[in-house]
Copies of this chain bind each other. A is one copy, B any other.
Amino acid sequence: MRPVDIIGVGITNFGKHIETSLVELGGRVAIEAVKDAGIKPSQVNAGFFANMQAASIFTDFTVGQNVLWQAGINRVPVFNTENACTSGSSAFNLAWMGVASGMYDIAIVVGAEKLVVPNLGLMQAGSTELDTLEGLVVPNAFAMRANLHMATYGTTKEQLAMVAVKNRRHAALNPLAQFRTPITVEEVLNAPMIADPLTRLSCCPNADGAAAVILCASEYSTRYTTKPVRVAASVLVTGSYENPCNMAQWDADKRASGIAYEMAGIGPQDLNVVECHDAFTISEIVHYEGIGLCPEGEGGRLVESGATSLGGKIPVNPSGGLLSKGHPVAATAVAQIVEGVRQLRGEAGACQVEGAKVFMAECMGADKAGDVKTCTVNILQN
């Protein structure tokens, strides 16, 4: 396997795109990424498109071909991929494998999602499953995790809320984020209850959005850009489904990040900036522990210390995270990588982590019971 760089990125704002179709959203970021990479569309050897909800909401299929055609990319292999919240990073992992293997020199990854429609779909994900029919939808499953984490490790409701407050503070600096007005711990705690202890401000909002990256064999990347960003590790694992397990810890995070650290030849202490999958406030805290930013059970105290704020020791979700940007499912994990590229290029604007050299994107796809179906960890390096 040969080294691979990211040479171009594209992203929309996350929010309501009522007048824009899924194909247009995806096409827009594909065009932007091709332009950013300084390549011609005909130089792209393969396309990997990620989407989760188009089939169930719009009965649309094989969307990636239409999306890439908008950018002048056709005839070459195009794959449509779905892997829950890691749909985008799964497409990225496949594209990385394609380029690293020598099969393709240049590949594009596009993640796009339209969620802001009357028939949402997400809350009924897996309606054939008994646990969902009985009420175990996603927020409930994460609320149970939060309660267990509080009971086991002494994490407080205030610490949970601090995740939302921190990420909103970051989002205020990101013009592409959906919600940018700063909030307080009290506001989070007093927001309408969704599933105790998770209030509305503890849960990520819906959004439409799209993001794209272009991967290139490192041996060719400087032909196109003066700022290639190296993919130091790309890892995808599946949940273990093992019982008994500790529902307040994520084994998949530990396995995926462990493999990624080994691939990159680094450890958690070497990270300068992280984007992780903060679908709920509790998620970010458990991810801290899973990827090794702090010992098991210390996640609540880590956010309280300020270490994961911009200006802290290891800023997490400088973009504002899912909690403030929203969660256009298949765009989310690609957007994390776009943020990483901007950080390592020094182009992250007011969200910039000074001198960032090593970035991690963590994303996880869980079912309603909180079982982890997929987990991805990508490390980028300058």
**Which residues of A are in contact with B by a Cβ distance under 8 Å?**
1, 21, 47, 52-53, 55-56, 58-62, 65, 68-69, 74-84, 90, 93-94, 97-98, 100-103, 121, 124-128, 236-241, 255, 365, 367, 373-374
Contacts and interface: CB of A to CB of B under 8 A. Distances in A.
A79 B82 CA distance: 7
Contacts of A237: 75-77
A82 B101 contact: no
Contacts of A126: 59-61
A74 B124 contact: no
A237 B77 CA distance: 5
A365 B82 CA distance: 18
B103 A59 contact: no
Contacts of A97: 97-98, 101, 103
A236 B77 contact: yes
A255 to B, nearest CB: 7
A62 B100 contact: no
Nearest to A371: B65
29 contacts: A21-B128, A47-B238, A55-B55, A58-B128, A60-B125, A60-B127, A61-B125, A62-B82, A62-B84, A62-B365, A62-B367, A62-B374, A65-B238, A65-B373, A74-B240, A74-B241, A75-B238, A75-B239, A75-B255, A76-B238, A77-B236, A77-B238, A78-B83, A78-B374, A79-B94, A80-B82, A80-B83, A81-B81, A81-B82
A65 B85 CA distance: 14
Nearest to A69: B241
A93 to B, nearest CB: 7
Contacts of A128: 21, 58-60
A56 B55 CA distance: 5
The 7 closest A-B pairs by CB, nearest first: A101-B101, A55-B55, A77-B236, A62-B84, A55-B56, A65-B373, A80-B82
Contacts of A1: 101-103
A240 to B, nearest CB: 5
A82 B79 CA distance: 7
Contacts of A21: 128
